[in-house]
Structure 1
């Protein structure tokens, strides 16, 4: 390979680097790190994680990717349960302790869009897993809870899905798992508060619309 061929290859690599929106720092040093990781470590992901200019960006990237992994694993095992989707199981499982929240309260807590969530709840009611309960204080409002059959199916699904606990945490030590739970819980609390502030008006509007 002569120097012109080297220059040509470098320009091609530079084009790839420059077109990558994840690589925000367009410096020579960043280009070198990026290219080395891409070539020798299969490292688009590794680059994002280790590049000091993208640490916060990498958190969103990694959390999103973990969600896709978890959804894939869940979907495979859910085939052996009475739940068609992770959302169906998640909503039913959130009621395992006997709570009977309003439908919109449940969907808000579990971060499920109202139209989608209402359709899921309807399917679960039709399956006999959930039951609708008249609100004692507001006769126009409906609460939602697990039926005895639904509780049985949720516990059965927990047993089937239990191997995922080890799969998802992978190589993490017990201490790392505890630290991760603490950090994710902190983020969840922060975003749940923000989400509720934004959603409250939409949920209230939906309830009013359903009552009229």
Structure 2
């Protein structure tokens, strides 16, 4: 029996070597590959969790939707605590500034769409940032009617002063998860977000 098992393992190691083509393979990398391989082969056993109301017919979709709403509220509470005693009025203020830093200058429409806001709500946030001197707008060289938004020196300073508190707020939300669990959650959330983003654009 053990001989057959060893033969199977050697065969898997050979497949791993051919697929990965690594100069210095290690057992941890092989274990990750084996996890992915068994999932591709349909052999991954997933224990179905228990949840409140399951016995009464509450669906997994309902649980996921409720959890996402609750997590959004927990994250918002953490974000509000992070910007206490700063010039930021709401967490959306620093999220918009972070977007401009991460993705560069963009139009109002692009910034609002990036943060998945309705136009009226997004315009209020942009106006507040401009009025507070955290964002400025300039004419677009290509289309003069489309003005570009840029983070100001004041906005950059305020964001930098608040970043450690903001990072800590983010860590507080994901605190109980291991690094591996975070990576898996990112994959699942990215899959969901891309699906809804494409569907929304398709509907538009």
- Given the two structures, how large is their TM-score scaled by the length of structure 2? 0.69
Three-state SS of the structure 2 residue aligned to 1:145 is strand
Whether 1:97 aligns to 2:97 is no
CA distance in 1, matches of 2:85, 2:93: 14
After superposition, residues 1-212 of structure 1 pair within 5 angstroms as 46-48=51-53, 53-97=58-102, 99-198=104-203, 200=204
Are residues 165 and 49 of structure 1, via their aligned partners in 2, closer, same or farther at CA, if it must alter by over 3 Å? farther
Where does the alignment leave 5 or more consecutive residues of structure 1 unmatched? 1-44, 201-212
Query: Contact 2:75–2:170 (CA<8 Å) still a contact in 1?
Result: no
CA distance in 1, matches of 2:87, 2:202: 34
Are residues 50 and 117 of structure 1, via their aligned partners in 2, closer, same or farther at CA, if it must alter by over 3 Å? farther
Are residues 50 and 91 of structure 1, via their aligned partners in 2, closer, same or farther at CA, if it must alter by over 3 Å? farther
CA distance in 2, matches of 1:56, 1:189: 18
Q: Per chain length, whose mean CA-contact separation is higher, i.e. which structure has more relative contact order (CA < 8 Å, sep 6+)?
A: 2
CA distance in 1, matches of 2:192, 2:179: 20
Deviation at 1:81, TM superposition (A): 2.5
CA distance in 2, matches of 1:47, 1:158: 37
RMSD: 2.0
Deviation at 1:66, TM superposition (A): 0.2
Query: Contact 1:130–1:145 (CA<8 Å) still a contact in 2?
Result: yes
CA distance in 1, matches of 2:195, 2:91: 23
Are residues 131 and 175 of structure 1, via their aligned partners in 2, closer, same or farther at CA, if it must alter by over 3 Å? same
Where does the alignment leave 5 or more consecutive residues of structure 2 unmatched? 1-49
Aligned positions, number: 155
CA distance in 2, matches of 1:173, 1:51: 32
Residue 17 of structure 2 corresponds to which residue in structure 1? none
Deviation at 1:80, TM superposition (A): 2.9
